[in-house]
Homo-oligomer: A and B are copies of this chain.
């Protein structure tokens, strides 16, 4: 059971290894929406995404014996880089299982952070098998990208910092993929907000969380055909109960809405955000009536973009 002190201790623990990212505002987007928006810029976080927070916290919670044996995860995205960089910062070894077809640019980023890559077939089964094999061989500790309470607590610190700067936010919007960011944001809102509502933002094309919240049990994605590559994964048994308890609304957005929101941020704010982050602003745009004249936080989850594959 998470307590307020758990989150405060977590923030203190990881603070030396992460950036306290800036909070940006945009007069022109505020005017367009009719609300006051505060963008927590995790695109400026180390390795370019909030994942650095959860990865660092999870590794710092290991025993000395575990640290000596290293960590293992499977991810083709930001968590692969996050675990690699967090492990490197702390002087321990990281083993990353990545699908054969993951982009070279992502493999190279992991290598740059000294992550040791094991390639596998691009199926969840192959990933899990490859990770298990590494665990069997060297007794490394497995860290899940989103369904891990230490990862969730680490992720919570982004919204904690945002609420430190803006204690009276009426809403915080965060994207939901695996659920680790939204669960963390929900805990931060519950313990540190002042009647702050947490809203999840999800692509229609991968709306497992929306349907899970409606039905009360974890649903699987029917498709994952979204430009928001960080949000194609599914909920887990650790983060879903937290989301169920603290999040009343998940707002779904279309691919076109994601693309428009991403272009809006690029053009008006001159910052690079990945499609998953644009999902949060797209949900804000869709909630315009509800949030009029309110203070709204948005977690900009990351800025790792494939410039060869822009949606606009």
Which A residues are closer than 8 A to B by beta carbons? 43-44, 48, 263, 266, 270-273, 303, 307, 310, 312
Considering the complex, give the chain B residue whose CB is closest to the CB of A42: B270
Among the interface residues A263, A307, A310, which one has the most CB atoms of the partner chain B within 10 A? A307
Kindly state the separation between the CA atoms of A307 and B44 in the bound complex, as whole angstroms.
21
Of B48, B273, B303, B312, the residue contacting A307 (CB under 8 A) is: B312
A310 to B310, CA, bound (A): 11
- Tell me which residues across on chain B come within 8 A of A43, comparing CB atoms: 270
Q: A43-B270, A270-B271 are in contact. List 12 more A-B contacts (CB 8 A).
A: A48-B270, A263-B307, A266-B272, A266-B307, A270-B272, A270-B273, A270-B303, A271-B271, A271-B272, A272-B272, A307-B310, A307-B312
Please indicate which of the listed interface residues A43, A270, A271, A303 has the most CB atoms of chain B within 10 Å of its own CB.
A270
- Least Cβ–Cβ distance between A181 and chain B, in angstroms: 18
Q: How many whole Å from A168's CB to the nearest CB in chain B?
A: 25
15 contacts between A and B (CB under 8 A): A43-B270, A44-B270, A48-B270, A263-B307, A266-B272, A266-B307, A270-B271, A270-B272, A270-B273, A270-B303, A271-B271, A271-B272, A272-B272, A307-B310, A307-B312
Q: Please give, as numbers and ranges, the residues of chain B lying within 8 Å of A270 by CB-CB distance.
A: 43-44, 48, 271-273, 303
User: How far apart sit A212 and B197, CA to CA, in the bound complex (Å)?
Assistant: 61
Q: Measured between C-beta atoms, what is the minimum distance from A111 to chain B in Å?
A: 15
CA distance A201 to B273 in the complex (A): 28
Residues of B close to A266: CB separation below 8 A = 272, 307
Taken together as a complex, chains A and B put the C-alpha atoms of A272 and B310 apart, in Å, by 14
By beta carbon, the residue of chain B nearest A41 is B270
